[in-house]
Amino acid sequence: MHLRRLMAITAIAVFVFACKEDNSAEETYEKEIAEIAEEETILEFGYDLKQYEFKRDTIKKGDTFGIILERNNIGYPKIYQIAEKAKDTFDIATKLQVGKPYTLLFSKENLSDSLQKPTTFIYQQTLEEYVVIDFKDSIQAYTSRKPITYVQKTATGVIENNISETLEKKGLSHMLAYKMADDIYAWTIDFRRLQKGDRFKVMYTDKYIDDTIYAGVHNVKAAYFEHNGDSLYAFEFKTDSIKNIIDYFNEDAKNLRRAFLKMPVKFGRLSSRYNLKRRIAYYGYKVRPHKGTDFAAPIGTPIMATANGTVVESRRRGGNGKYVKIRHNDTYSTQYLHMKAQNVKKGQFVKQGDIIGWVGMTGNSGGPHVCYRFWKNGKQVDPFRQKLPEAKPISDSLKVRYLEYIKPIKQQLDNIHFLEAEPIEQENTITEDQITDIQ
């Protein structure tokens, strides 16, 4: 399409130059440009939307697939037929969620029809994924994803107050701060105590949907932080291809992580600590031991696995409400209580940071929170009083490959200058098909 347009515009330019004394040339030029403009497409969901009339809306409370189509002049016999045909691909009778967007396509051939009927229903499950139910002729249903583009970038910054403020002033995503504070340097830098003049460099990849919709930071490839006189490097490296485990290591191949996260929610408040001598007025000040650590957070806040492990329980029981329990090894297990809903099943392997459920108030709960329980050798203990182990070190066989892998990346990172006016340097744009796995 682009080549054809270029050839057409070139031909028009030649024609205008050859006939510049002829007024008809200008008229021909305008006509050809109009025809080219008419050929422009608006591609979305695999359709050229210029070929259709379309309506966009979101699922409202009380909406069903049948109600939406009935509002748009489709009768129930046809609705039932469509739903039955589509249910093996997507159960539209039960899986439409309030607030999710949808699009209806209408054929331009029937614009004069007062009872114009849609030919296609498109439901967006996420920014990337969507379901198409096409019933123009035969009924077809399928799921697909919007094209994703990855843009590799670099950024630098000098701390004045805190890292979030520094990034915001430079127009950078706050997710970059969370990545560095929670995923990379959580155990080596206390980001609440950064000093003025601390500075950083980072190589990362931003994610875009349909080239225009910003979908956040995809990953941080490498980072460098100067803090308290220390120079702290971090390089992303995959240590287990089967389980897709990715860690961050320094220039000497030392793992920057610990085996456990400090807390199971990113945006939560420590509301009640482990306390075997706790007394509660409601129970007449009798000793009611609290063997968990509570983190208050709004309902629906994601709950993360604090370490790699296997789910041994995902159920609802008594005062625990809905909960998940994970065995990390022969020594440690963790438990997460009062969930609104679980996101994992028994027997499933989870990685540190995976979303295993959402904060709720099920069971005995006076407010939305997650009760985090920490088990060591079969006994519940206070996680804040444990000398937690470091994450699994890199194997000797991988260490050689890692050190070779980071050589060019470290050189590139070292060559990035600390810039004030121009904090972002776009390195490269790649598609999802072109993006390569971390070593």
Q: Check which CATH number belongs to the domain holding 281 and give it.
A: 2.70.70.10
Q: What are the structure tokens assigned to 391, written together?
A: 């994450």
Q: Which residue has the tokens 């589509």?
A: 86
Give the lowest-confidence range in 277-291, 317-331, 332-346. Answer: 277-291
Q: Is residue 262 part of a domain?
A: no
Considering the domain architecture, whether residues 68 and 103 belong to the same structural domain is answered as yes
Q: Is residue 30 part of a domain?
A: yes
Tens digits of residue pLDDT in 56-112: 999 999 999 999 999 999 999 999 999 999 988 988 878 899 999 999 999 887 666
- pLDDT over 50 (residue 177): yes
Structural domain span for residue 196: 149-257+395-431
- pLDDT over 60 (residue 350): yes
- Among residues 164, 159, 155, the alpha carbon closest in space to that of 205 is found at 155
Specify whether the CB–CB gap between 36 and 43 falls below 8 A: no
| Global confidence as pTM | 0.66
Q: Is residue 167 part of a domain?
A: yes
Q: Is residue 277 part of a domain?
A: yes
- pLDDT higher for 34 or 142? 142
Cα–Cα distance list, 218 to 126, 186, 200, 378, 404 (Å)? 16, 18, 19, 38, 24
- Among residues 197, 150, 20, 111, the alpha carbon closest in space to that of 435 is found at 150
Considering the domain architecture, whether residues 138 and 157 belong to the same structural domain is answered as no
Q: How confident is the model at residue 392 (pLDDT cuts 50, 70, 90)?
A: confident
* Mean pLDDT of all residues belonging to the chain: 82
347: alpha, beta or left, given left = phi > 0 and alpha = psi -120 to 50?
Answer: left
d(CA 290, CA 356): 23
Considering the domain architecture, whether residues 364 and 427 belong to the same structural domain is answered as no
Residue 417 CA from chain centroid, whole number = 30
Task: Report the residue count for the chain.
Answer: 439
Q: Is residue 390 part of a domain?
A: no
Considering the domain architecture, whether residues 413 and 376 belong to the same structural domain is answered as no
Considering the domain architecture, whether residues 282 and 175 belong to the same structural domain is answered as no
Considering the domain architecture, whether residues 307 and 247 belong to the same structural domain is answered as no
- pLDDT over 90 (residue 173): no
Tens digits of residue pLDDT in 25-34: 445 544 444 4
Considering the domain architecture, whether residues 156 and 246 belong to the same structural domain is answered as yes
Considering the domain architecture, whether residues 98 and 120 belong to the same structural domain is answered as yes
Q: Is residue 94 part of a domain?
A: yes
Q: Is residue 219 part of a domain?
A: yes
pLDDT the model gives residue 110: 63
- pLDDT over 70 (residue 149): yes
Considering the domain architecture, whether residues 167 and 18 belong to the same structural domain is answered as no
**Of 6-10, 265-269, 416-420, which has the strongest mean pLDDT?**
265-269
Please state the domain count of the chain: 4
Q: Is residue 439 part of a domain?
A: no
Considering the domain architecture, whether residues 33 and 110 belong to the same structural domain is answered as no
Considering the domain architecture, whether residues 10 and 60 belong to the same structural domain is answered as no
CATH for 411: 3.10.450.350
